[in-house]
Structure 1
């Protein structure tokens, strides 16, 4: 630290904070302090530092004064190009931070930010004045040995500086090792971060090191602590007779679970009966809170994790497997404690009544999405013969599913049916195939039933006016919708808005109009990017995407903490009602649960994406030099992204586009040749060659082989 600089800053601030001070320019301050012309740079440096720290602000006329706007606290999200954004809880949009204003913050740091520019026409812009909490105490990266020292290139491309490692602190690491580094000094403008190697994960090319590196990078927990393990010993392996007291008994009803083939944590089961014209749909959810009591070690660890994380080769569960795969999982032929939502549904798909209760069930059949789809859609004779006793039930499920979906569609619910990636691995964890994972009638059926239960529970507890957690999805930003409207106009579609507001029904109408067209995938993706991110909140402000006034997460307490939390409230309310003391208790804790759950959800999604990106690179290594057909999925000022039919996405640098100098037209999401006027636009079909793959950066580079004029035909 420069002691003279700090002393000068104190002198200036003492004067600025005195009652006699009026806003002055730098020249006037120099006169006041009797600073000679040749020493003016010293004062300029002091003023610059005070502005960056947020202790002074400078007006348009160049006058310095105490800041009117206080700093905000938020999470810094770095971009590999140097700039970044700060996400502040409660703000509609992130704050843009130019590269020169990041104050050396690293990705994920909790920072103090001061807003410099804010208007309705553009995103707020600001500068970071300090780091409240570093997020990267430990960093995973690629170690390189130099003569007298080493350094680590972080796996996270958003950490823009490598980390200096003194020889005495390298733990014997060699070039090519993947290591975990504890940062001992975060450095500054003229000094790199410094660290110590605390773990060597193995060679970059060793089996399993790829996924292990991602697990460490995101700080995902791998084991449960001793306190959790000790509590698990007291939990029974079977449902005890005493635990059935006071529960509704649904064990005589035909009950099924429908999940993926590999699923082991089964937290929802369904039943269906009909009385006259009214369907009685039962959604039965594992009663996890019976075994996970508030403030126990298991509960605290579940809140810390907040969600299960599904990586390409493993699941990192929120709950220990004795619970998630055992006593809480609704396994076939086993009595299980549940929390049930029984809904009465009329012939128009309206839910006209419901009951929420503690219950006990016994699953008759553990069904898969594939088998159910073969029964209700494909009429597969072998599958129908195998499940002959359940065919009528499954067809009835399909009928009720169609009713619920029809009612939801009528009010404007949006269904983004974008293909997800399914990565196939061999016994060594190596990617051997990649394909789109597509929803079928069975997955949609379960989705319809779970949505219905989530909405029903949310509305019930909203009107009871007691503390609760909701899943909210706010209306999209008007500027993003305006850009979307301009973009789709290029395809011949329109988007009607009222007072710059978009209704879910209008967006649903657009998706219906583009269904089956070549433009469907691209417009759907751009429309999805225009949406805000769903999150958890204690206020019921609605769910835009579902066009729902009331929505919560009730149906997955094995893998999501918010579901477990509201089960606790529901059960307490069912049994005794919530007394004022308990109401105040939940009011005190639920805001933290909402923020923690939202943050952990984002972490899980990012980790899942990173493992998929890595495995895609691994798979495409076997296809270097090969040609593929694809579609332009993104256009930037640096080049174009191309997505192949198997969902693999690669990049073509603008410098590699031959025949012209291309300029980026942001409004049209297109690159345009200055001379030829040739265009590269979203949705355009192209043929590419796999040119280069960087597994460390998780990047695939393509070279253009052939393009077609305009968008896909």
Structure 2
């Protein structure tokens, strides 16, 4: 037994003792004696104990005894801060967050891994609360924020992340010449304590807060998004051609004569899915979903593959795309551009009149897309019958009409089984050449966007089910049903609007949520109901085991259709191709099954990072857009109520807050049960979903806030 094995065995024995029934806190020397640790190994033993303490798996009491955190009702988790100083801990073991008062954070900062002790369990709508016992690992070493100079040469940095409650002190020698208003990156040198601010040094000045592009660059630095690719990646693709080599086409099924089109947004450059459709002799459809064979060019364990895995996903910021793959692949040889040969992984599905996939084939193919269609053009052809477009695309008109028929069949099948459609408007932010927002409006959704959505959904389900029954190593897209606490809060909220959920054996079927959303359609509260139901849902994630997809009411689901921009799709392509080529023997299967859970966890994490960065850049531009709108009047809908303010959302998706402290016509209180704010004297109330008229009172770009004030309803508001 080598030294590593000896240490591992001792670690396991320490933890086994800590978890045993007869366990009592024990001194270090008694633990050494119990494990018969020789004198020459004493230092290694001490390091082992300190390692377990740092991991939060062993706790040292004030009297120096080793104790089990579990025995002392302690556990580990991640700290989530709040601008007001308090915070929450998300337990490693899962479950509801634990509230931590500002006085009990022990100086913990956003994303720190902590050991905490629960004081009170959750009951009657009140969150569980606790205290931080120890900070195990700091979550952030670098902070992005705005520099504010002091009078004697020192300064403070106000973090962009409002969950970091304390400003970071910068001594005179560590300012790097920053002046008030500079966006900077700070490296923390001292995390401070409860009553002392953290300290740091400026390591990069990004520019002034008002300089074009600095706001987005700040988000990129804050989330540590990799913009440039390493030199070794460019070296690997240096000799990659712009056309598919003849040798690469061999052994593939030739589908170049199959009428095939892509349908995307007008500004899309990475076209990773193409579709085809034809009627069969038995009246069924043959739907072809052809996906760019990215795995042919991104080989396992290359520098290109490692970089793609590290990124996990492309990031779509408001003014740019940070791609998972270099443009030579994403916009070039992998993109299914029209009139050029491309390698694909195709799924050909026979679909009957009830939307059931009665048979399918998955194959490596060569395709040649005939038309590069846009959502707008397809909508105008099918809905408006625009003469010029009907003439231009006469060759594919019959196929488009069949596609529209199949879209309705597939949508009806999903509706019947209870699939939930969340139709919340997304923002389309239009910028000028300097990155300044000049218009914000909801994204257009149409039968064309829904058509591609339906085709991709049925393909993803077919691939997932096929892989499940093949028992191959795989990465599923899983979505759990809401947990009990969230479900209870949602039910209480819905009852306030007169909506009721029917449960069976304490469980809810997604069909019940679908009924609520359908009932709310075209009502004033539709957007609020949809958002509340969505917030009550668990987050979908990647898993190595099939967990089904609650929201889609699907037994099997995965992401197969976007390998240019998502690493899970790329990994799925590899597994399928290995299966097709007979390369998934027992040894390979064992290897990939062992690796897949970690890969799934990493990809889920990177997806969250991308979503947060995208949301933050949208929020920045929304605030900037409203800067010159102070005093203007708008009609909106109440989207949130709290004990500090009323949130109002405008038709263009911009949200601001009316602070209760600024409502001087009465003293207003928040009723959490009824989810409304009411005046004590006038009994005037504001509840979720109410239509209101507001004026823009204040916009603070540094704080990222938009303040509204209620206006008189007869005042003219902006359309």
TM-score of the aligned structures, taking structure 2 as reference length = 0.88
Q: Residue in 2 aligned with 1:255?
A: 260
SS at 1:105 equivalent: coil
Per-residue CA deviations over 1:32-51 (Å, capped at 9, x if unaligned) read xxxxxxxxxxxxxxxxxxx9
SS at 1:613 equivalent: helix
Q: Is contact 1:483–1:667 with CA below 8 Å preserved after alignment?
A: no
The answer to whether residue 561 in structure 2 is matched with residue 558 in structure 1 is no
Q: Is contact 1:54–1:71 with CA below 8 Å preserved after alignment?
A: no
Q: CA deviation at 1:458?
A: 0.6
Q: Is contact 1:639–1:654 with CA below 8 Å preserved after alignment?
A: yes
Per-residue CA deviations over 1:202-253 (Å, capped at 9, x if unaligned) read 1111111111111111111111111111111143322111111221111100
Q: CA deviation at 1:120?
A: 7.5
The answer to whether residue 414 in structure 2 is matched with residue 411 in structure 1 is no
Distance in 2, matches of 1:137 and 1:661, equals 44
Q: Is contact 1:349–1:404 with CA below 8 Å preserved after alignment?
A: yes
Distance in 2, matches of 1:458 and 1:127, equals 43
The answer to whether residue 204 in structure 2 is matched with residue 195 in structure 1 is no
The answer to whether residue 26 in structure 2 is matched with residue 17 in structure 1 is yes
Q: Residue in 2 aligned with 1:357?
A: 363
Distance in 2, matches of 1:258 and 1:612, equals 25
Distance in 1, matches of 2:535 and 2:127, equals 16
Distance in 1, matches of 2:207 and 2:324, equals 27
Cα RMSD for the two superposed structures: 2.5
Q: Is contact 1:454–1:555 with CA below 8 Å preserved after alignment?
A: yes
Distance in 1, matches of 2:511 and 2:68, equals 50
The answer to whether residue 86 in structure 2 is matched with residue 83 in structure 1 is yes
SS at 1:676 equivalent: coil
SS at 2:683 equivalent: coil
Of residues 513, 537, 551 in structure 2, which corresponds to 1:531?
537
Q: Residue in 2 aligned with 1:632?
A: 638
Structure 2 unaligned spans of 5+: 1-17, 19-23, 31-55, 715-719
Q: Residue in 2 aligned with 1:25?
A: none
Distance in 2, matches of 1:18 and 1:136, equals 34
Distance in 2, matches of 1:18 and 1:212, equals 52
Q: CA deviation at 1:153?
A: 1.0
Q: Residue in 2 aligned with 1:163?
A: 168
Matches within 5 A, 1:446-461: 446-461=452-467
Matches within 5 A, 1:323-362: 323-362=329-368
Q: Residue in 2 aligned with 1:29?
A: none
SS at 2:563 equivalent: coil
The answer to whether residue 488 in structure 2 is matched with residue 482 in structure 1 is yes
Q: Is contact 2:58–2:68 with CA below 8 Å preserved after alignment?
A: no
Distance in 1, matches of 2:584 and 2:200, equals 51
The answer to whether residue 396 in structure 2 is matched with residue 393 in structure 1 is no
SS at 1:258 equivalent: strand
Question: Per the alignment, do residues 52 and 240 of structure 1 end up closer, same or farther by CA in structure 2, a change over 3 Å counting?
Answer: closer
Distance in 2, matches of 1:394 and 1:233, equals 39
Question: Per the alignment, do residues 284 and 95 of structure 1 end up closer, same or farther by CA in structure 2, a change over 3 Å counting?
Answer: farther
SS at 1:377 equivalent: helix
Moved more, 265-274 or 147-156: 147-156
Q: Residue in 2 aligned with 1:427?
A: 433
SS at 2:603 equivalent: helix
Q: Is contact 2:69–2:75 with CA below 8 Å preserved after alignment?
A: no
Distance in 1, matches of 2:258 and 2:376, equals 23
Q: Is contact 1:53–1:130 with CA below 8 Å preserved after alignment?
A: no
How many residues align? The count is 662
Structure 1 unaligned spans of 5+: 1-12, 22-50, 59-63, 709-713
Question: Per the alignment, do residues 52 and 238 of structure 1 end up closer, same or farther by CA in structure 2, a change over 3 Å counting?
Answer: closer
Question: Per the alignment, do residues 114 and 381 of structure 1 end up closer, same or farther by CA in structure 2, a change over 3 Å counting?
Answer: farther
Q: Residue in 1 aligned with 2:382?
A: 376
Q: Residue in 2 aligned with 1:34?
A: none
Q: Is contact 1:373–1:440 with CA below 8 Å preserved after alignment?
A: yes
Q: Residue in 2 aligned with 1:134?
A: 138
Q: Is contact 1:144–1:150 with CA below 8 Å preserved after alignment?
A: yes
Q: CA deviation at 1:116?
A: 4.1
The answer to whether residue 121 in structure 2 is matched with residue 112 in structure 1 is no
